[in-house]
Structure 1
Amino acid sequence: MANNIKRPNGTEDVLPKDIHKWYTVEKIARETAESYGFGELRFPTFENTDLFLRSVGETTDVVQKEMYTVKAKETEFTLRPEGTAGAIRAMLQNGMLNEALPQRIFYIISCFRHERPQAGRLREFHQFGLEMAGSPAPSADAEVISLAKNILDRLGLKNIELHINSIGCPTCRAKYHDALRAYFEPRKDELCDTCKERLVKNPMRLLDCKSPEDREIAKDAPVILDYLCDECSEHFTKLKKYLDNAGIAYTVDPKIVRGLDYYTKTVFEFITTEIGAQGTVCGGGRYDGLIEQLGGQHTPALGFGMGIERLLLVMDKQGCDYLAPKKCDIYFATMGDAALEKAMELSRALREYGYFAEYDLMGRGLKAQMKYANKIGAAFTIVLGDNELEEGKAKLKEMEKGEEVTIYLGDKFAASFEEVYFNKMLDFMDEETGGNGSLFAFTGEDK
């Protein structure tokens, strides 16, 4: 017998029983971004390869080792390894940067990188990200960092640390590159082949190398903060002041350079130690030169990306709350074809009201149907047989407490059920607050 086909290594299936966790993260992230004035952008899963070469940087691990690229006739495409480049391309191509600034967008996307799969690091992963284009002010940096922290707080995450750094502008970075070359040059023969090339083209990338040997060599390397020009230094000082004013705790971490070449000035990461080595749940910063690099007018910009799988790992680890998974509101247990047809009719009416209604599709006996209703967590059940159809009414059973009420099966059935359901919610709230409300205050007899 042939082997079963399995999903590709480094990818995951999200099952219906877990999708409510994803909905929780997406809902809170989307609502928080909208409260800060951001609107959703959707853009293609793949782009022309040149977009990532020009933006992410040819000396980065992403471009050198991790991109999924395919040639279609004479055209070369790449599955997006991150969100910023595609989002900025879309903003440019659609004229958004000609409108009132700042422009604010967010997105929820899948990304693709060919790297060794491990906990919190997949070959297909998902991100919530956002970009703000138009403002050079450090107050914009504080706004974006505040937004990220707001999302993490609303998700209920604990023990998440904010690390910030400034990696300067091209002017002060040139002096820093000279200092790095002077530091690494005497030991260049000990570096990996990739870093030997980076030493010439972009020495800051040596600080991002994952090789343990190279990291050891780099541990005493010069620090970028010692080389900032007056403008970059003032920008960083004001950012720290704004974060202090907002009560947002942070650690200045000179080792943060981020893995992509387009960053300038502010870079930041929200970090946890609770999911192993892949502890960055959110990372971002400023990229004032990227829009011009991609063919637009000089426009300062900044943003961040937040890994959804990593967020869920931390939320599970910390026992955070999720939105309740959707469960069956009412299950019709039927006996005979006429009862099944009635159940189909009543279900159609309930679904128009937005209720989750279900009936037997497997030809089960009554006992098996009730067992199934209990297994799927149906809130209410109704048994329909010849007697119920003849009388035009049936017993509506609330499963948790076993209470029953007569409900009529006429044209107003859906409205009647809605009022019973509403009374159940009131009853639940009464119990939570110490009241003694009645569950079945209405039976919905048709007149």
Structure 2
Amino acid sequence: MTKTSSFSAPKGIPDYVPPGSAEFVAVRDGLIRAARLAGYGHIELPVFEDTGLFARGVGESTDVVSKEMYTFPDRGDRSVTLRPEGTAGVMRAVIEHGLDRGQLPVKLVYNGPFFRYERPQAGRYRQLQQVGIEAIGVDDPALDAEVIAIADAGFRGLGLDGFRLELTSLGDETCRPQYRELLQEFLFGLPLDEETKRRAQLNPLRVLDDKRPEVREMTAGAPLMIDHLSESAKTHFEQVLGHLDALGVPYVVNPRMVRGLDYYTKTTFEFVHDGLGAQSGIGGGGRYDGLMAQLGGQPLSGIGFGLGVDRTVLALQAEGKTAGDAARCEVFGVPLGEAAKQRLVVVAAHLRAAGISVDLAYGGRGVKGAMKAADRSGAKFTLVLGDRDLTEETIGLKDMATGEQRQIPLDEVVGAVREALDVSS
């Protein structure tokens, strides 16, 4: 009878265990690598922050703040919240540590878990894993294009190609207020339910993001921000598109796009993969020019993105692709007896110090069991050491692909294994 644990992971929070965890790590590291190549430095953020940071920075009218945050009092009766997104925390850190007073733009990359309380389903978790970047302090359409191109390169570098980039402009402070009034006038003339009317009062753009068919039908003729941009916002957006064209980054302009966070202005974008069904977004972001001042810092602009590691893994699977190999050692050691095990442990340490991955057959297995373990390990070579080998100061090096085995001097094992691995690769 199989014994099971009395505990399981919380609902909606996935575990990543071998061998599948290798793909998760490969996707995460691949998305980070694209940012590193563009000069983004690492920032490590707290997992929880003062609740007010997210309420003020993300927006109290958003679903994230009003419905999805994990908020609780700590032992000092202070209200803290598990981070639902990364941008507000990055801005807080930039202000607190004075990074905004140095060289601009401040370019930062981060990764890790974020938390939102919502109904768990495929690709939508309560603990979601993201890679994010922020470029703060310079309002330049070329920087917008760089941020978008980094995300595009990250996805393509993993072998993903069945996605599309959708983007639009959400205007700036010179045209947003007038558009808000125009949109509200339109929405207040519709037979909306009470909750949707309240949303239209607080943040009318959010109504355009409503997924219910009846609401989408009613708002089909709504005025769109992209048709009411100021000259400066229009010029900015056209220049972003021009840079993307020059970089060869394909895109689709989606005038009805509305991101779920209040701080977005001007360039706003999302990467979509239709192979994921209803939860098709694999990442997105935009410009947030008023956020730093809103959080008590200088009136500096910024742009960034958050890319879903979980979603990207699912998108690769939808395309029948994988990223990363399961953690496998290059060499597997088979000791025949306790004296041989003691020596082979030292040999393994020397090989690891030389950068070669090594595992051993532990637990006093016989020859047959140890060789089966070597087969299952996926190692390219096996080192076999017995009492006779110890006497002769040699060790057996077996090629697992061909079955060929040869004896090599123990004091030459590191060089011999390196040479064998180079030849086999």
TM-score with structure 2 setting the length: 0.95
Distance 1:295 1:151 in 2: 33
Counterpart secondary structure, 1:421: helix
Distance 1:417 1:317 in 2: 44
Counterpart secondary structure, 1:128: strand
Q: Is the 8 A contact 2:50 2:81 kept in 1?
A: yes
Aligned-pair CA distance for 1:334: 2.4
Name whichever of 245-254 and 298-307 sits farther off. 245-254
Aligned-pair CA distance for 1:99: 0.3
The one of 168, 171, 188 aligned to 1:168 = 171
Q: Is the 8 A contact 2:162 2:319 kept in 1?
A: no
Aligned-pair CA distance for 1:271: 1.1
Name whichever of 223-232 and 345-354 sits farther off. 345-354
1:423 aligns with 2:383: no
Aligned length, in residue pairs:
422
Letter of the 1:363 counterpart: G
Counterpart secondary structure, 2:275: coil
Counterpart secondary structure, 2:12: coil
1:18 aligns with 2:14: no
Structure 2 equivalent of residue 310 of structure 1: 311
Letter of the 1:364 counterpart: R
Segments of 5+ residues of structure 2 without an aligned counterpart are none
Distance 2:342 2:39 in 1: 49
Q: Is the 8 A contact 1:40 1:106 kept in 2?
A: yes
Structure 2 equivalent of residue 69 of structure 1: 71
Distance 2:347 2:38 in 1: 43
Counterpart secondary structure, 1:424: helix
Q: Is the 8 A contact 2:112 2:131 kept in 1?
A: yes
Call closer, same or farther: CA 1:370–1:290 in 2, change over 3 Å.
same
The one of 127, 131, 142 aligned to 1:124 = 127
Name whichever of 22-31 and 117-126 sits farther off. 22-31
Distance 2:368 2:398 in 1: 15
Counterpart secondary structure, 2:175: helix
Aligned-pair CA distance for 1:167: 0.7
TM-score with structure 1 setting the length: 0.90
Aligned-pair CA distance for 1:427: 2.8
Letter of the 1:265 counterpart: K
Q: Is the 8 A contact 1:269 1:284 kept in 2?
A: yes
Aligned-pair CA distance for 1:359: 2.5
Distance 2:333 2:231 in 1: 73
Compare relative contact order (CA 8 Å, sep 6+) and give the higher one, 1 or 2: 2
Distance 2:66 2:283 in 1: 23
Distance 1:177 1:89 in 2: 28
Aligned-residue identity in percent = 39
The one of 132, 136, 140 aligned to 1:133 = 136
Distance 1:367 1:181 in 2: 76
Counterpart secondary structure, 1:274: helix
Q: Deviations over 1:339-384 (max 9, x none)?
A: 2212222222222223222333222211111111111122222332
Aligned-pair CA distance for 1:225: 1.2
Structure 2 equivalent of residue 405 of structure 1: 406
Structural mapping, 1:147-162, within 5 Å: 147-162=150-165
1:144 aligns with 2:147: yes
Distance 1:127 1:192 in 2: 35
Aligned-pair CA distance for 1:419: 2.9
Letter of the 2:47 counterpart: T
Q: Deviations over 1:22-47 (max 9, x none)?
A: 23223322222122111111010001
Structure 1 equivalent of residue 88 of structure 2: 85
